Amino acid sequence: MNYFPDEVIEHVFDFVTSHRDRNSISLVCKSWFKIERYSRQNVFIGNCYATSPERLLRRFPCFKSLTLKGKPHFADFNLVPHGWGGFVQPWIEALARSRVGLEELRLKRMVVTDESLELLSRSFVNFKSLVLVSCEGFSTDGLASIAANCRHLQDLDLQENDIDDHRGQWLSCFPETSTTLVTLNFACLEGETNLVALERLVARSPNLRSLKLNRTVPLEALARLMACAPQIVELGVGSYEDEQDSESCLRLQAAIRKCTSLRSLSGFLEAAPHCLSAFQPVCHNLTSLNLSYAAEINGSHLIRLIEHCKKLQRLWILDSIGDKGLEVVASTCKELQELRVFPTDLHGGGNAAVTEDGLVAISAGCPKLHSILYFCQQMTNEALITVAKNCPNFIRFRLCILEPHKPDHVTSQPLDEGFGAIVQACKNLKRLSVSGLLTDQVFLYIGMFATQLEMLSIAFAGDTDKGMLYVLNGCKKMRKLEIRDSPFGDAALLADVNKYETMRSLWMSSCEVTLGGCKRLAQKAPWLNVEIINENDNNRMEEENGYEGRQKVDKLYLYRTVVGTRVDAPPFVWIL
Amino acid sequence: MSLEEELQSNVSVASSSPTKNTAGGGGLKVHNYFGLSDSSSVESSTLSGRVEDDKATISLKATELTLGLPGSQSTELDLLSPAKLNEKPFFPLLPSKDEICSSSSHKNIVASGNKRGFSDTMYTEKNWMFPESVAAQSVVKKEVPQNIPKGQLSTTNNSSSPPAAKAQIVGWPPVRSYRKNTLATTCKNSDEVDGKPGSAALFVKVSMDGAPYLRKVDLRSYTNYGELSSALEKMFTTFTLGHCGSNGAPGKDMLNETKLKDLLNGKDYVLTYEDKDGDWMLVGDVPWEMFIDVCKKLKIMKGCDAIGLAAAPRAIEKSKMRA
């Protein structure tokens, strides 16, 4: 390959987009390393503390798009206290100082401030795309800066963030000359928006493909917006009260019929039970449907809509759809690839809306299914074994039985065999979440068969350290391991310290690891940041002599890093 | 008190029940999560040790945490939970039933114990509750499983107390707080949602003057101002004790809740909240149900800073306007 000039090699590299493949390319030889380095457009950093902005800029001077992830996954469930970290400010500051022509920033579980957004909006002339997922720390003032200053903004995509809504006029801050919007998603905002400004913005954005409104945008506004943007491909519906205003309804139906490109429907946060029928004309084209926030719509209405969605590839739904509803999905949606069934009742109050039968029905009816997230009250080994036989193509399999330690409800056995069947049959399984009553046996199966597994979530499972050891020894491709409330301790933690160099991170909370064990680990592995998160009493851990070594650690988060201990840790985080 | 009487009778039923489960004579002892087993290992033996040990060893400390200190108001939360959880073990242990409850309902019991422990851990420093409860799990699994008629299970569920006593585990089920809050608001705004109003969580941020970081609390896990106040006291103990400046000592021996309460009650700190209109009001003036409807954020302010904040009349005015 070195007979070709660099430009040719670079051109070949352009076809390689996956960052993992590009990482591999750069290891081939020095020349390729150099070429790849300068031509890397999209940089992905899975853990913002694994490296630093300076190192990023040294390695990839010419990148245009940056993806950063901050807090560990369990932060989504309130297991990581506020203030832990994941601040984007230093990154934006460093990038702003450099000459990088940043065009896209994608952040997940990071702390973003209005100051950061302001700086971002002023520093990069060609900035085009901002995607924030599960972030917090900013307000609509920050959005106003983005709107006002980013002349070429194409994507403003806010997914499930915690945003302080000042009910200001951020939408009016888009200049009249701004016509480049492609994606506008503000579904997670709580407050009222300026509907006039919104309509005008939509009307002057001919490239708008994705529009996701928040719960305060009423029905008549929706009708007008859709009339302005018939080219829309993804729509997130705002509030949709009862069809008392029949004129609005008729207008909406007329507008919907014109949206021949509509492929994805979501929202319905404030949705009256009967409102879905207006969307029936577009169902036959829909590939993605997210009704997982539509708590008021009962199963029968959902079913009536889904019956028409023959091309559906992605479905997110609440368990109010019931097993019967899932059977309809199974018989209708033959193209289904991803299914998520979320719980309506978060306290496990008794009435199981979906059971193992629904899961089996889906597995039998949808041959292309490869990703599933399923919350339910009960499960059996038999069902899981059947699912494994029906669907050997799972890449992501996440099952959450709402009650911890719940066994097979028919045989009262642990669910080891069921999950064992899944990992044995699904040779491409990359992500797995287990639940229910589980012994060390299930981890033996996982270690033996889940050779491609990259992410494993364990809660309330296992008997002894052997469980964790099976996984650490067996799953060669493991990258993220997160464990809570399981009896794994120091022996498992310390058995193979070098394993953690091959992984992005390990999370263990409410397990059996002790402070002494963590200290030993930190000593053996200086290239790891071993963080102890102890919210309750900062001083106690240090000062009780004698018992210190055996004191249980509440939360442990460790990750490989090339830049050593981070300097922005709050007092309740102790980095060993 | 009646609670203790209940406990006594619970114990006698437990010890007199026929032990069909052979794997552990200690099988039934697992039920005694009130801490009434013989061995009381405080130091955590390794879990494998526990598995081999047929007798479930629940530390006496479990008792302490469960019952709380008598007369101490702050532990009301602890006292409430076991009383309600008592109902569950009664069903499987009734001598008239032939079947011993299966390990699944064992899980119900001990899991509930777990849940209580977890919610306690939210508010206390006693984290070691976890491992022992988990240890109990592993022993229970060794028992010969029996089937329990579905009817019995459902009666157990029906007779179980309202969600608050099923004390929620932190971060469980694994659903994003955004989703929990969104569904909570949606349910709130509708008239009927299958008769289960407010079944989802409602997290609000709590900040305190002088504290370096925020906390979050789920308003739906409390049923009145007293519970909220106790929970917040526990949460912010460390900070307030840092202010117990008069002694100078950095307050390790001062995990004294009475002292803290005096501090709070002595008007040094007041609890305030930001409502939907963005105004800061004093907590406690409106009915609880209305309060959780409008509260967006909580703040523990120094008393002197809170002077001039909306007192009762203004709060009541607002509530009238909303009604």
Q: What are phi and psi of A557, to 5 degrees?
A: -135, 115
Q: Is B187 on the interface with A (CB under 8 A)?
A: yes
Of B103, B130, B178, nearest to A510 by CB-CB distance is B130
Q: Residue A346 pLDDT > 90, yes or no?
A: no
Residue A121 corresponds to which amino acid? S
pLDDT (0 to 100) of residue B200: 54
With the CA atoms of B307, B313, B317 and B318 taken in that order, what torsion angle do they form, in degrees rounded to the nearest 10? 30
Which chain A positions have a beta carbon within 8 Å of B180's beta carbon? 346
Task: Give, in order, the Cα–Cα distances in Å from A358 to each of A254, A392, A412, B37.
Answer: 36, 17, 20, 43
Percent of chain A with pLDDT over 90: 82
Q: Which residue has the higher pLDDT, A566 or A248?
A: A566
Which ipTM did the prediction report?
Answer: 0.88
Q: Choose, out of A71, A78, A490, the residue to mutate when testing the contact with B (most B CBs < 10 Å).
A: A78
* Among the partner residues B48, B168, B187, nearest to A347 by beta-carbon distance: B168
The C-alpha atoms of residue A108 and residue A86 are separated, in whole angstroms, by: 9
A310-341: per-residue pLDDT in tens? Answer: 999 999 999 999 999 999 999 999 999 999 99
Q: Do A413 and B146 touch (CB under 8 A)?
A: no
Q: Which one of A293, A407, A412 has the shortest CB-CB distance to B182?
A: A293
Judging contacts by C-beta atoms under 8 Å, the chain A residues touching residue B145 are 407, 411-413
Residue with tokens 């978060």: A346
Residue of A nearest to B163 (CA): A347
Set of chain B residues whose Cβ sits within 8 Å of the Cβ of A552: 44, 127-128, 130-131
Rounded to an integer, what is the distance from CA B217 to the centroid of its chain?
12
Whether pLDDT at A388 is above 60: yes
Q: CB-CB: which of B104, B146, B173 is closest to A400?
A: B173
Quote the CA–CA distance of A417 and A445 in Å, as a whole number.
Answer: 9
Q: Select from B278, B269, B262, B261 the least CA-distant residue to B300.
A: B269
Q: Look at A346 and B212 and tell me if their CB atoms are within 8 Å.
A: no
The most confident of the ranges A11-15, A546-550, B32-36 is A11-15
DSSP, residue by residue, B17-51:
S-----S-GGGGGGG-TTT-SS----S---HHHHH
Q: What is the pLDDT along chain B (323 residues), one digit of tens a residue?
A: 444 444 444 444 334 444 343 443 333 444 443 434 444 433 333 333 343 444 444 444 434 444 434 444 443 333 333 434 333 333 333 333 333 333 333 333 333 333 343 333 333 333 333 333 333 333 333 333 333 333 333 333 344 334 444 456 888 899 998 898 888 776 655 444 444 444 456 778 788 776 656 677 778 778 888 888 888 877 666 555 444 334 434 334 334 444 445 555 555 678 888 887 778 888 888 888 888 888 888 888 877 777 766 555 555 566 666 55
Q: Does A412 touch chain B (CB under 8 A)?
A: yes
Using CB atoms, pick whichever of A296, A439, A571 lies closest to residue B190. Answer: A296
B119 Cα to chain A: minimum distance (Å): 13
Please name which of A320, A263, A313 lies closest in space to residue A291, comparing C-alpha atoms.
A320
* Sequence letter at residue A473: N
A548 touches chain B (CB under 8 A): no
Contact B220, B200 (CB under 8 A): yes
> Residues 13-42, chain B: which have Cβ within 8 Å of A?
none
Check CB contact of A174 with chain B, cutoff 8 Å: no
pLDDT higher for A366 or B3? A366
* Inter-chain CB proximity A552 and B102 less than 8 Å: no
CA dist., res. A465 & res. B43, Å (int)? 18
B226 to chain A, closest Cα gap in Å: 22
User: Partners of B272 in the beta sheet?
Assistant: B282, B299
Q: Which residues of B touch A437 (CB under 8 A)?
A: 103, 107, 141
Q: How confident is the model at residue A192 (pLDDT cuts 50, 70, 90)?
A: confident
Please list the alpha-helical segments (H only) found in chain B.
2-16, 47-52, 60-67, 76-85, 87-93, 103-123, 129-141, 150-159, 177-189, 225-235, 237-242, 257-265, 288-294, 312-322
DSSP A512: B
C-alpha pair distances (Å), A497 with each of A165, A182, A390, A571: 45, 47, 38, 26
Interface check for B238 against chain A (CB to CB < 8 A): the answer is: yes
Q: Which residue has the higher pLDDT, A445 or B128?
A: A445
How many Cβ pairs closer than 8 A exist between chain A and B?
183
- Under an 8 A CB cutoff, do B183 and A82 touch? no
A76–chain B Cβ distance below 8 A for any pair? yes
Q: Does A83 touch chain B (CB under 8 A)?
A: yes
Closest B-chain CA to A414: B141
Which residue in the set A406, A489, A572 is minimally distant from B46, CB to CB? A489
Query: What's the pLDDT at B298?
Result: 87
Instruction: State pLDDT tens for residues A156-188.
Output: 999 999 999 887 789 999 999 999 999 999 999
Residue B37's nearest CA partner among B13, B11, B17, B70 is B11
For A406, which of B104, B213, B214 is closest by C-beta distance? B104
Q: Which residues of A are less than 8 Å from B154 in CB distance? A: 350
Kind and range of the H or E run holding A491: helix A490-494
Report residue B232 as tokens. 């917040």
pTM of the predicted protein model: 0.72
- Cβ pair B154:A464 closer than 8 A: no
A575 SS3 class: strand
Q: Do B145 and A464 touch (CB under 8 A)?
A: no
Q: Establish if B207 touches chain A: CB-CB under 8 angstroms.
A: no
Contact B111 A76 (CB under 8 A): no
Instruction: Scan residues 476-505 of A and list those with Cβ closer than 8 Å to B.
Output: 484-487, 489, 491
User: Smallest Cα–Cα separation from A345: which of A356, A353, A337, A357?
Assistant: A353
